[in-house]
Amino acid sequence: MRTAILILFAAVGALAQEKARPAFEAASVKVNTSESGSRSSHASKGQILISNYSMKLLLQRAYKAKPQQIDGPRWIETESYDIAAKYPPDTKDEDRDLMLLTLLEDRFKLAVHRETREQEGYAMVVAKGGFKLKPVEPGTGGGTNSSSDGKAVSFGATKTSMTGLADYLTRLMDGIVFDKTGIAGVYDFQMKWTRDERDDSLPTLSGALRDVLGLRLQPEKVPVEVIVIDHLERSPVE
């Protein structure tokens, strides 16, 4: 009898947990066949509209992961999707990405496992001569922006931490950049560098990091938690 009661409570608990999983109130998912190079994401309190996002980008967003942390079939980088979804009333910000994960599990039958792998990456450390910035007062309005004309990259940061800078640099490098500076606080700064090492009118990225910030990237193998896709449908189900 005691065993039966415990089983009943376990089943009720599992059912309650399943019902409590964050999910969109309603959602439409379509394959994007435009072959456009542009993509967008617009969120408001009531809804989110995602246009032309590859499956890999959706997975990165759902898991708050970097590109190097997603391991799956090659098509996740080429197949793109449009999503229009409605948030339930009083949705918490931290639940929004979990709702996207629920959507991928429901509509694409996503199943994964996690494993730790050693990957080639970079440690962001203080360069010889020391760190060159002074912290600013933290607060709202922080962020980063970048632009490129194909040859040069301009990058601006407002109230940005070293961890935030490392996350941005990860998008540019062939491996994950880890902040190992030990520097706290947030900073404002501007950098500009050339993509062409033959162009000596501007520094390279390494030169800009050294000259403007007093930092450098040190190649090293790093342990990375990787999300491995076990199953994923290519077309969404209604």
Q: pLDDT tens for residues 174-225?
A: 889 999 999 999 999 999 999 887 888 899 999 999 999 999 999 999 889 9
Identify the band that residue 5 occupies on the pLDDT scale cut at 50, 70 and 90.
Answer: very low
- Is the pLDDT at 3 greater than 80? The verdict is no
Q: If we measure between CA atoms, which residue out of 112, 103, 101, 89 comes closest to residue 29?
A: 103
- Residue 133: its pLDDT value, please? 95
Residues whose CB is less than 8 angstroms from the CB of residue 67 and which lie 6 or more positions away in sequence, other chains included? 56, 60, 170, 171
Amino acid making up residue 235: S
- Is the pLDDT at 12 greater than 50? The verdict is no
Query: Across the chain, where does the E strand assignment appear?
Result: 26-32, 40-43, 47-54, 70-71, 80-86, 111-126, 143-148, 152-160, 177-179, 187-194, 215-231
| Beta carbons of 233 and 75 less than 8 angstroms apart | no
Give just the sign of the alpha carbon dihedral 194, 197, 201, 206. Answer: positive
- Is the pLDDT at 236 greater than 70? The verdict is yes
- Residue 93: its pLDDT value, please? 82
Q: CA 195 → CA 145, 154, 200, distances in Å?
A: 17, 11, 11
Regarding pTM above 0.75, the answer is no
Number of other CB atoms surrounding residue 62 within 10 Å? 20
pLDDT tens per residue, range 99-130: 999 999 999 999 999 999 999 999 999 999 99
Give just the sign of the alpha carbon dihedral 97, 99, 101, 107. Answer: negative
